[in-house]
Structure formats: structure tokens, C-alpha cells
Amino acid sequence: MESLEHQLIRVELEQRQQEGCDTADIRSRIEAVLEDGAEDSVFRTLYDELVALDPVKDFPYSEPSLLDDIRALRPEGPRRLSLTLGEEALSERIHGAWLGRAVGCSLGKPVEGWPKHRIDNYLGSVEALPLTNYIPYREGTISPGLKTSTRDNIEFMARDDDMDFPILGLLALEQKGATFSPRHMADVWLSYMPFHLLYTAENVAYRNLVNRRWPPESATWRNPFREWIGAQIRADIFGYVTPGWPEKGAELAFRDASISHVKNGIYGEMFVAATLSAAFVTADIDQIIEIGLSEIPAQCRLAEAIRDTLAWCNESDDWEAVWSRIDDKYGHYHGVHTINNAAFVAMGLKFGADDYEQGIVVTVRSGSDTDCTGATVGSILGAKFGASALPTKWTDVLSDRLMSSVRDNNDNRISALAERTLQVAIKMLNVPDVVEEETVTEPFPKGMSEGLPGIWNFQLGFGRHELRVRPDLTGEIEMIEFNEVKKISNVKIDGNRVCFSFGVDKGGYEVDIAFDGTIDGDRLIGQCSSGGFEFSATGKRTSG
């Protein structure tokens, strides 16, 4: 079997070129070893050399992957707007977002991955142009497995990863609220989602998580799909629960995206989440999109593609002419890349500003990742219009049902998911805004002179443990009774938030445990998670 490096190096080569690296020399060497069928060790060496490249000095984009750096490069924006919707009206809009997403996903699902010309040729052959309803089924052209998402065959929203991810995000938010971390989101994946139903970047990240490469390393290790669309399709739930608060929606989306993506892959999720947050407070589609752009770096490739698309839409009322310009400039990206698909989303929003059906139809007929883009446009327009405003010919056939592969959430009522989301949103809106958070989370709060470094009596509910952390944040944890010492790793401190990992020996097999909590003076308070289980953990400093 070929090594991972052998399997992935072609995609990584294209990724590095798109990130602004000069790949001319290494490209010729990679092509040569691919032709010769070299040993795996050769591919590993070349892969490491490839990922070590830096962008050329005249690369015109600034594309960081850390939240503070992203925020430093974003344009001016409202950050938080006044939400005037009452609870009943907010419920209607959240329901519209869930329902609109399901409709758009169902519309695009039968032709996922098809190019535009193939979609239009097929629709013409089955006399479905102009497209005014779901895509008809023809045996031998559309897979039998997709028949349940075709016209006259729909009884529910069929299982799709585009609908699994909002449920996974909802679970994390129900469990942790605004405090959920990338590690907690990773644990939700591992506990609730089957590996074989994840694709590209998510599949790679899951593999990395299983091999104890935790965020953010899970996003980068042997992951050439790290700017593809996978994070963007996970954004919606974070916009649903932050109506009128695009900065918070983008922040939550960042935490989720950093599990599997970097740069424009992260920005895609932040953009969509912020756009959805804005859709609850303004009906102006240009303003909605601009607010989304205000949460990502102004000089990144994604922002450029969306700005180009907006300009082209303003110059023409022919969506196919706009599509051609998008394809001319951004068609070199893979069909499931973030950037080209986000441009189709922006176009769909512009042409669907006053017409939900027009929005999802234009988007799906554009081709590429049609279930993803149709779902995103349907979601944003659904949040803008509300459930009762969506055409019943699109919504009624779903019968308020959504099937999912998420454990314990296989057969869902869309209305029930919307109600659960509403409850999270109500709690989220009472979370202090960023100014108040900064006041609370000084790097070392009063009474905590040295932060995490020191010696701690660490209580896990089993055995006696001593946690020892040095100033460089290396350290170990010892089970006192048995003199068993394990190193701590993945140590991260953000204000008074602390995360780290360590192992516990169980019969010669090391179980990985993650701590996520806060420092309050000389006390640690938080939770540990391992293998889908969570338990409380506390610590008391015994020595500085």
C-alpha cells in the first residue's frame, strides 16, 4: 500500500502553489519520483520539504490562521448589531434557516460534483429547464442512492454531511455553550460521527485525532485539503446561535474550523457564520455579505473572490454571464475548494436577494459542490425570509424530517432542531461581549502571579496526582501511589483558559485525556474528556 505521502503529494503540491510558494523546482522532482515509483521514504522527504516552503515575498495576500492575527487584518465592521426580533420572530427565522438549508441541500444533492454544462444538459434532456422544482430522476444517469432527493421521490431530507455538521455543532454548543473549544469539538466528532462518512479535510483531521494529533495540528498534518470547502459547510449553526453578533459567530466558527483547516479554509467558515448572523438583523443582501467580509482578512484570496463576484453581479443581471467570469478567474480551483464555491454562494445570494427559489436554483445550476453551496444559500436566505415565507412546494415534501448519521440523532424533526437552536441562541445572547471578556481574561488574573507553571495537587476522581508545569509550559503528571509519570502536551493558555493533554496507563495501553478549564488564583477548575466520557477535574497549587 502506498504511504500517505505518496497518495497525497500531488494535491499538496497544488495546495502549496495556491498558497504562494514557488514550486517549480520541487514539482519536477516530485513528478520524477512519481514516474519512477520511488520508495516511501523518498516521498516522505519530499513531502516535508514541500510543506516547509514559504510563500514568495511578492505574494499579494496576507493569510494568517490564528484568530488574533485574522482579526488584526479584517476591515471595519459592526461586530455586534442591535437585534430587534422577539423570541417568536427569532424562532421563525431560525426555523427558516434550518428549513432553507435542507431544501438547498436536497436540490443540489443529486448533481453534487457535476460541472455546470452537465447539469444543464441533463435538465434539458428531462425537460426541466427552467428549473422550478427539485431535479427529476432518470435511471442510469443519477445514482439510485440519490433517488430520495429527486422530484416526486422526496419524503424527508436524506442523510448528508452538510446536515450532519450543524447537528454536531449544536451538540457541542448544548454541552459547552460559548466556552466550547476546538478540542471539545474534536471530541464530539469522535463520539458522534462515523469516520467513513467524513470526506477530504474532515476525514484527514479525524485520522489525525485518532492518532492523537489534536487541534491545531490535526488541521495540518498530511492534510492537503486544508483550504477546501469542508469547514465552510460547518458554519451555519454558529450563525444561527449568534443572531446580530457576527463577531461572535465568526469566533465560534474559527474554533470549529481550526480542527481541520487553515487560511481560506478557516475564513470560509467565519464568513458564512458572520453572514448568517447578519441575516437576522438586515434584509439588505449587500450589507449581509459585507458584514460577512468584515470578519475575515481584507487581503485574502477568499475576500478578493467575493468582492469580484459582487462587482460582476452589479454589472450584469445575467447570472450566467457572472458565472462565466467566476469560472474564468477561479475555475482553476478544485470543485470542492472553498474559494470558487464561495463565489457561487455570493452570486446565489445576490440573485436570490428577493427570491428564495431563484437563489438556490442559480447556485445549484452553477455546478461544483452543489449540495454544499445550495445548502449555504438556502440557509442564509431562509434566515433572512423566515420559515413561513419559503415556498411550500420546496418545503412540504421534506415532511419536517431530517435523517442524519450523527449518533443518537438519526431521525430528526427540523422544527425540533430549530427549537433546540433557539434555546442555545437565547443563552448565547446573554454572554458578555468581547469588551467585557477582555476585562475578565487578563493573562494572569489577580492572585495568580505565575499562571499555570508550578506544582499542583490535581484531583481527577481516581488516585492522587501531582501536576508539575515548568515556565516553558513543559511538564508532567504523576500518579503518586504508583510513581507513574506521563508528560503533558498540547498546552495552551488563553487568558485564564487552560487546555492540556496527558496519558494514563491502562494495562500497558495509554489512554489520552484532555483537560479544559480555567485558572482562578491558585485553583484549577475544569473537566477532563476521554473516549467520549467527561469528568470533573480540579487542582490546587502547592508550590509556585
**Which of 428, 461, 484 marks a domain boundary?**
428
| The pLDDT of residue 441 | 38
How many CA atoms within 13 Å lie on the side-chain side of 210? Answer: 11
Using the predicted structure, report yes or no on whether residue 436 has a pLDDT greater than 80.
Answer: no
d(CA 414, CA 240): 14
Quickly state the pLDDT bin for 533 (edges 50, 70, 90): confident
pLDDT in tens, 503-524: 888 777 788 888 988 898 899 9
Quickly state the pLDDT bin for 495 (edges 50, 70, 90): confident
Contact 496, 520 (CB under 8 A): yes
57 in a domain, yes or no? no
CATH of the domain at 517: 2.40.128
Is the model more confident about 536 or about 358?
Answer: 358
Please choose, from the candidates 446, 530, 537, the residue with its C-alpha nearest in 3D space to the C-alpha of residue 209: 530
d(CA 385, CA 353): 10
Structure-block grid coordinates of residue 281: 438583523
Quickly state the pLDDT bin for 440 (edges 50, 70, 90): very low
Indicate whether 386 and 529 sit together in one domain: no
Indicate whether 355 and 481 sit together in one domain: no
Q: Is 478 exposed, middle or buried (0-12, 13-18, 19+ CB in 10 A)?
A: middle
Quickly state the pLDDT bin for 439 (edges 50, 70, 90): very low
| Helix ranges, 386-488 (H) | 392-395, 414-428, 434-440
**Which of 428, 454, 477 marks a domain boundary?**
428
Quickly state the pLDDT bin for 286 (edges 50, 70, 90): very high
C-alpha angle with apex 516: 510 to 518, nearest 5 degrees? 140
- 409 backbone dihedrals φ, ψ, rounded to 5°: -135, 45
| The pLDDT of residue 509 | 76
d(CA 256, CA 242): 15
Quickly state the pLDDT bin for 349 (edges 50, 70, 90): very high
| The pLDDT of residue 531 | 74
Indicate whether 364 and 479 sit together in one domain: no
Is the model more confident about 433 or about 146?
Answer: 146
C-alpha angle with apex 336: 333 to 337, nearest 5 degrees? 45
108 in a domain, yes or no? yes
Helix (H, G, I), strand (E, B) or coil at 525: strand
Indicate whether 417 and 446 sit together in one domain: no
110 in a domain, yes or no? yes
Quickly state the pLDDT bin for 435 (edges 50, 70, 90): very low
401 in a domain, yes or no? yes
Indicate whether 383 and 493 sit together in one domain: no
CATH of the domain at 248: 1.10.4080.10
58 in a domain, yes or no? no
Indicate whether 305 and 417 sit together in one domain: yes
pLDDT in tens, 451-471: 899 999 999 888 789 999 999
d(CA 248, CA 226): 23
Indicate whether 345 and 475 sit together in one domain: no
30 in a domain, yes or no? yes
| The pLDDT of residue 449 | 37
Share of the chain above pLDDT 90, in %: 85
pLDDT in tens, 68-121: 999 999 999 999 999 999 999 999 999 999 999 999 999 999 999 999 999 999
> What sign for the dihedral angle of Cα 243, 244, 250, 252?
negative
Indicate whether 445 and 321 sit together in one domain: no
Indicate whether 424 and 538 sit together in one domain: no
Identify the bridge partners of residue 543 per DSSP, sorted by sequence position: 455
Indicate whether 361 and 474 sit together in one domain: no
d(CA 434, CA 438): 6
Using the predicted structure, report yes or no on whether residue 448 has a pLDDT greater than 50.
Answer: no
- Number of separate domains in the chain: 3
**Which of 399, 428, 457 marks a domain boundary?**
428
| The pLDDT of residue 445 | 41
Using the predicted structure, report yes or no on whether residue 273 has a pLDDT greater than 90.
Answer: yes
Quickly state the pLDDT bin for 530 (edges 50, 70, 90): confident
Which residue segment(s) compose the domain that 520 sits in?
441-543
433 in a domain, yes or no? no
Name the helix (H) or strand (E) containing 318.
Answer: none
Quickly state the pLDDT bin for 431 (edges 50, 70, 90): confident
60 in a domain, yes or no? no
pLDDT in tens, 237-255: 999 999 999 999 999 999 9
| The pLDDT of residue 461 | 81
Indicate whether 491 and 349 sit together in one domain: no
| The pLDDT of residue 110 | 98
Quickly state the pLDDT bin for 414 (edges 50, 70, 90): very high
Contact 33, 46 (CB under 8 A): yes
- 514 backbone dihedrals φ, ψ, rounded to 5°: -115, 130
| The pLDDT of residue 450 | 55
The whole-angstrom distance between residue 67's C-alpha and the CA centroid of its chain comes to: 14
Indicate whether 332 and 306 sit together in one domain: yes
